[in-house]
Chain A
Amino acid sequence: MDPSTTGTRTSARRGRRRRGLAAAAALVLGGTLLSACGSEGKPTLNWYINPDGQATLTQLAERCSTDQYDIKINLLPASATDQRTQLARRLAAEDSSTDLMSLDPVFVAEFANADWLAEFTGDQAGQAVDDQDTLAGSAETVKWEDKIFAVPQWANTQVLWYRKSLAEAAGLDMSQPVTWDQVIDAASSQGGTVGVQANRYEGYVVWINALIEGAGGNIIDPDTAEDGRDAKVTIDSQAGKDAAAVIQKLADSPARQPDLTTSNEGTSLGAMYPADGPGEFMTSWTFVYKNYVDLLGQPGGPADEQQLDDLGFARYPQTVQGEESKPPIGGIDIGVGAYGKHVDWAKEAALCVSDPEAQLELAVNDGLMPSRSSVYEEQRLREAYPAELLDLWRQSIDSGGPRPKSAFYSQISNAVQARWHSPASVDPDSTPERSQQFLEDVLSGKALL
């Protein structure tokens, strides 16, 4: 090898290399600039929303933007777990651009405990939660250690949706509270089905929790839930067994939908108005009504007005005969990121996007029900929904059974999913006991999740 040629070639190479690196550096810089734009002029408040009611939320963001700031919508993924992951990652990174966020109520405790949320104090606290007006079930979700860390924007609850003709054919009197047993039997006697949420996800825990609460028990002793890792696990109880018995019964019943183990709020919608068959009983959230109204005459929806009239609703079924049911509570709370550059403005904006007017819009347009009692009296809402349905929802939210309020809720939920999924494997004699042990191990950091 000739050293001189090597040398020349290398310098030629080096020239190329230098230019190459420069180009690369320019590209990297360009990328950084691209991803960090939007800092000039009026400040922008970033609001991370979940996909429910996007169009209305976009309008709200416009209405609540002021001369001082603009509110920009950023869409989060569809599942509650993914939403939490996305937000928590930003907040753990002390991200200053997370100003407003739509939070599933179950994650407020965790976020507040990690100091990720700005506290609402003074007048603002009074506006966030109006003791006279805010429904108890919703108000409770935004409090952590007796301080207020978010604003309830809308409230959600589940009721029992069903085809009146199906209940009638089965001879089930829906004017009285019904039990899960009765519902499953009624459906299977007529070749109908029962729609629930039992995929391995948060929605399944919603069901399990409602069943346990409805039997007078809890997953975690509510008095100790705020103690975090030291909370007392109470899932292995008669109530836990009663809940497991319901799940087992459905899993073994012909009324089970084929995709039971992967079911979610969407999968059972289509079974209400099937091409043939008598339809279903389904426990699901408030959006269901609007969904079917909008689907009138379309596939998956009621064929005509008569079929729409056949859609019945009743209070969430009882786990145990005679014991009042505890419907699930959900909804969205608006939290303000603790590391934002404009925390005060963000709080102002959070109150604005959750004010009575905003709640009315969300309810009328998207079927996302108000967390304030007074909004249920609004004429526009009364026109959009049957009065009995509005009253049923309001009552359900006020008397619902919330999920454990723990800074470790995400672990608790995952641990319950791990032991209670698949529904086909649930057994009253062993599932509550096994999940008790596992939950204790997980909370004390002795088990992997």
Chain B
Amino acid sequence: MSTVTAPRTEPGDQGARKGVKPPVSDRARAENSLGRKLVAPAIVLMLLVTAFPMLRALYLSLFDYSLTAPDDRAFIGIDNYVTALTDGLFWKTTANTVFIMVVTVVVELVIGFAFAMVMHRVIFARGLIRTSILIPYGIITVVSGFAWQFAFSNTNGFINSWLPFVGDDFNWFAEYPSSIAAIMLSEIWKTTPFMSLLLLAGLAQVSEDMLEAAKVDGATWWQRLTRVILPNMRAAIMVAVLFRALDAYRIFDNIFVMTAGANGTESISFLTYRQVIEQFQLGIGSALSVLLFISVIIVAAVIVKVFRVDLAAARQEG
């Protein structure tokens, strides 16, 4: 689950302020100090609950440390990292996670865009649509996982009987392709509404005049979409992609509920969870935690770089 509420930038306002050093007066100093005091609790808390445990993970990752044999704790340097990075399972789960991320984000983008178009154009039943679309968004991910797991179940579900090309006793959770499809559908179902709302906001920014002008010039529907609408929504799309991708990269709940990692459906988060919480291997588990953190940063950097996401548009300047 994620949300983006990128504060609106006001270019004019910023242009005026940028580069102009505020005169250092008592008032400015007081404001500076007040500002810092007001944000201090938030900063301290955020660091306390993330940076501090992360540093602790970094420290623990240098030990061979199992909670079931706490007395045998021993410093082993970077051995845990070597073990993890040379292990096929680490790369397999990473590949699986990236696969889930790419497929779900692409599908969500397409469906989400269609939803946004519908919501943008529709003049009737707006409240109903918006209420409906918020339900998957607000529903607990675990519940979404259950709903789809049971829907795909060959003993109690309905999907087998609705789909003409699968047998009634087809077991979706027997093999990788079908189980990963079920997991991804659950993820896509739950997060598409969020994507569509972001895109809807982007769509609202596309000027009707421009579209009208294009229409007058004889542009086809497809041309209007690719030449006018999409380019003007670029920032919205890219930010939505960035946020959803990073969220998808952390996928855990659906997998836990639907397959518990069977058939190679394990994600990198799930692998880490199992080392730490199920196996009590805090040493190697912490190493995986650190690697997971680093890989999230890499994914973010790659997306920003490759898609040239204009983070400034999402970040409040000034």
On A, residues with C-beta under 8 Å from B are 1, 3, 6, 10, 81, 85, 88-89, 92, 110, 113-114, 199-201, 258-262, 267, 270, 407, 410-411, 414, 421-422, 424, 445-449
Contact = CB atoms under 8 A, between A and B. Distances in A.
Contacts of B83: 445-448
A234 to B, nearest CB: 23
Nearest to B26: A3
B279 A449 contact: yes
B274 A260 contact: no
A329 to B, nearest CB: 23
B121 interface: no
Given A88-B68, A259-B154, A81 B174 contact: no
A422 B69 contact: no
B69 A448 contact: no
A88 B262 CA distance: 23
Given A260-B171, A447-B83, 19 more contacts: A3-B30, A6-B30, A10-B34, A88-B68, A110-B68, A114-B67, A200-B262, A200-B263, A258-B169, A259-B154, A261-B171, A261-B262, A414-B278, A421-B262, A422-B262, A424-B174, A448-B284, A449-B275, A449-B279
Contact of A448 (B87, B154, B174): B87
A422 B174 contact: yes
Contact of B280 (A92, A200, A424): A92
Contacts of B271: 448
Contacts, number: 90
B123 to A, nearest CB: 42
B27 interface: yes
Contact of A422 (B34, B175, B277): B175
23 contacts: A1-B31, A3-B30, A6-B31, A6-B34, A10-B34, A92-B68, A113-B68, A258-B169, A259-B174, A260-B171, A260-B174, A261-B171, A261-B173, A410-B279, A414-B278, A445-B64, A447-B87, A448-B83, A448-B84, A448-B87, A448-B284, A449-B89, A449-B274
Contact of A85 (B87, B175, B275, B277): B277
Contacts of A81: 278
A214 B261 CA distance: 30
B205 interface: no
B90 interface: yes
A422 B175 CA distance: 8
Contact of B174 (A92, A114, A201, A262): A262
Contacts of A110: 68
Interface string B299-311: 0000000000000
